[in-house]
Structure 1
Amino acid sequence: MGSVDKTLFLLSRGGDTLIVQIYVDDIIFGGSSHALVSSFVEQMSREFEMSLMGELQFLLRLQIKQGPEGTFVHQAKYTRDILKKFEMGDSKPMTTPMSTNTVLDADEDGEAVDQKEFRGMIGSLLYLTATRPDIQFAVYLCARYQASPRSSHRQAVKRIFRYLKFTPELGLWYSSGSSLSLRGFSDADHAGCRIDRKSTSGTCQLLGTSLVSWSSRKQASVSLSTTKRLSLAARSQLLWMKATLSDFGLRFGKIPLLVDSTSAISIPKNPVLHSRTKHIDVRFHFLRDHYEKGDIDLVHVAFENQLADIFTKPLEFGAFVRLRGELGVTGWRCVDNALIKGEIESQWIGLIALLV
């Protein structure tokens, strides 16, 4: 049993490994050996009444394509379904989910719209963010106005649907040749919310070139400085992932957390500055403690290379597409040739079983 995730189970036998993940009454399992996988199937079939569904292709409306070169996870069918549901299938496509000129606020004088429909649109989009990090910021920004939606908010949501009409088959590509190095990015705007002037933090974590975790959230308090706004979520997530990956036998030294704030980097590295940061809550020195332990290392990254920027603000088309590509968000047609290249047997066999 995994030490962090209690629904994860691992078995090592010789040089082979079997991984089993349980989700309610579903079991996803895979291994580096056909014999090990077959043995597990036989044992489970003797103990439980179960249906073997074969190679993993669908799970919770996620579509999975596997091949020797990697795995592609997307929600193309779900995207088409929600476009049809909200009658946006014939809408004019847009190249980005949100315009850089868009400014959303409470708009109390604006025309009220159907709250039930608005919440349905937001809920459908929230589920889509499981494989579409490119719409995360726009969706979460619009979700803040579910209590009293206005026409301007509905127009912003429709813009996201029009972007999906332009990019219905985008998903996440996980290359089998990706390295097993862990790194994180953290960024935040400064007092971006027009209502309460709270900042929006964006984080993402990558295992090699593969995006495995991301978030966009409004901070709980108003920040008076750019130093305080550096997200704690990124540091906590990196430490959690480090502990989880240790169950797979992966060990990491200092994990780089890339930020574009030089003042935030100076706090854990320069004790002289600590006397000047008493206005910052004690919990923010959590980072300094882990820096001294050798768990995390803050590294400066140029503004244009800050991948988490896509989670904190709307971007113009060129920057948006570049960051989207660097996060591994691509179309299945772009990777289809790699997935169907020959009849080469994949090293890992992905299977799914449904317990009855």
Structure 2
Amino acid sequence: MFLFRSDDCMVIILIYVDDILVTSNKESYLQDLLLQLQSRFAIKDLGDLHYFLSLEVSRTSEGLHLCQTKYISDLLQRTSLLDTKPVTTPMASGPTLSIHDGTPLLDGSEYRSTVGALQYCTLTRPDIAFAVNKLCQFMQSPTDLHWLAVKRLLRYLKGTPHFGLHFSRSSDFSLQCFTDADWASCPDDRRSTSGFCIFLGDNLVSWSSSKQKVVSRSSTEAEYRSIANGTAELTWLESILHDLGVVEKISDKDKNI
């Protein structure tokens, strides 16, 4: 990502291989940049953003909606679950999955490929972050029960393909971070799982669900580690907002944890 700023204008360029997104708070600057690029390179202007790296962008009167409907459909087609019956939750409430559950798969390549694809889904689907994180813990030696859990998650996506993120226009630049943690939830190593989500105003901009690096000796310790993770992400986001010229609008009272 490249950022160009002047006193009254900002241009952001996001480049991934041969795909480029360009945005600016001034249309004249945006057009001038495109003309300069076209004078040096053979580029094609595809107009307003609608589809980028499997992310679908829809504009409404209230803001932007990001989803991955086609990507999910292609994933269901690849796993022969396009006509499966949907479920209402991404994961069973219990019992907790373990590395010792079930019979090891003869070939775990499909499991690893599918879970890797599900990781990309979490770009717009924070509701499956916990389930995907759990399934990633069995990449080395997946079993038939782990594969059933993957299929359940795919069935959940089958029923919710249009779910995604909605970003609305707002003058509220306050940062709010919500964290949580369980305690010793993993039956294999007794490590806890941390989770956080961060809002910029009313818009969700960052989230995570991950197993903690060490064993917490109490629920209080697990919660503190989760708060530390959320605070680190909050600090990083504030530095990005500083580069974008937004941090001046954020006061200490607007940063809540």
Q: d(CA) in 2 for partners of 1:68 and 1:89? A: 32
Q: Distance in 2 between matches of 1:129 and 1:22?
A: 21
Unaligned stretches of 5+ in structure 2?
none
Q: What is the SS of the residue equivalent to 2:6? A: strand
Which residue in the other structure is 1:11 paired with? 5
Provide the C-alpha distance between the structure 2 equivalents of 1:181 and 1:8, rounded to a whole number of angstroms. 24
State the partner residue of 1:138: 131
The answer to whether structure 1 residue 111 and structure 2 residue 107 are counterparts is no
- Counterpart CA distance in 1 for 2:61 and 2:201 is 17
Unaligned 5+ runs, structure 1: 1-6, 258-356
Aligned pairs, number: 249
Inter-CA distance 77–200: structure 2 relative to 1 (3 Å threshold): same
Letter in 2 for 1:209: D
Q: Please, which of 11, 25, 32 is the counterpart of residue 32 of structure 1?
A: 25
**1:291 counterpart residue number:** none
CA distance in 1, matches of 2:70, 2:95: 29
Letter of the aligned partner of 2:229 in structure 1? Answer: A
Matched residues in 2 for 1:178 and 1:133: separation?
A: 24
Q: So what's the TM-score if we normalise by structure 1?
A: 0.66
Judge conservation of contact 2:13–2:20 (CA < 8 Å) in 1.
Answer: yes
- Per the alignment, residue 149 of structure 2 pairs with 156
Amino acid at match of 1:256: N
Q: Which amino acid aligns with 1:160?
A: L
Match of 2:92 in 1: 99
- The equivalences for 1:35-184 within 5 A come to 35-107=28-100, 110-113=102-105, 114-177=107-170, 179-184=172-177
Question: 1:205 — aligned with what?
Answer: 198
- What CA distance in whole angstroms lies between the structure 1 residues aligned with 2:2 and 2:242? 12
Tell me which amino acid in the other structure corresponds to 2:103: E
Q: For 1:10 and 1:196, how far apart are their aligned partners in 2? A: 47
Contact 1:178 1:209 in 2 (8 A): no
Q: Deviations over 1:139-182 (max 9, x none)?
A: 11011112111121111111101101111111110011362211
Measured after TM superposition, the shift of residue 105 of structure 1 is: 0.8
Greater relative contact order: 1 or 2 (C-alpha under 8 angstroms, separation 6 or more)?
A: 1
For 2:245, the equivalent position in structure 1 comes to 249
Provide the TM-score with structure 2 as the length reference. 0.91
1:190 to 162, 183, 191: 183
Q: C-alpha separation between the residues in 1 aligned to 2:29 and 2:186?
A: 53
CA-based RMSD: 1.7
* 1:121 partner amino acid: T
Q: How far off is 1:67 after superposition?
A: 3.9
- Offset of residue 24 of structure 1: 3.8
Map Cα deviations across residues 224-276 of structure 1 (whole Å, 9 max, x no partner): 1223222222111100111110112222233211xxxxxxxxxxxxxxxxxxx
| 1:102 to partner: Cα distance | 3.5
Letter in 2 for 1:180: F
Mapped contact 2:91–2:153 kept (Cα < 8 A) = yes
Q: Write the distance in 1 (CA, Å) between the matches of 2:244 and 2:7.
A: 13
Report the identity percentage. 39
What displacement does 1:135 show? Answer: 0.7
SS in 2 for 1:215: strand
Alpha-carbon displacement from aligned partner over 1:26-52 (angstroms, at most 9, x marks no partner): 331122332222111112222333222
Contact 2:3 2:10 in 1 (8 A): no
- Structure 1 residues 96-139: Cα deviation after superposition (integer angstroms, max 9, x where no partner): 1012123211225x222231111122111111111111111011
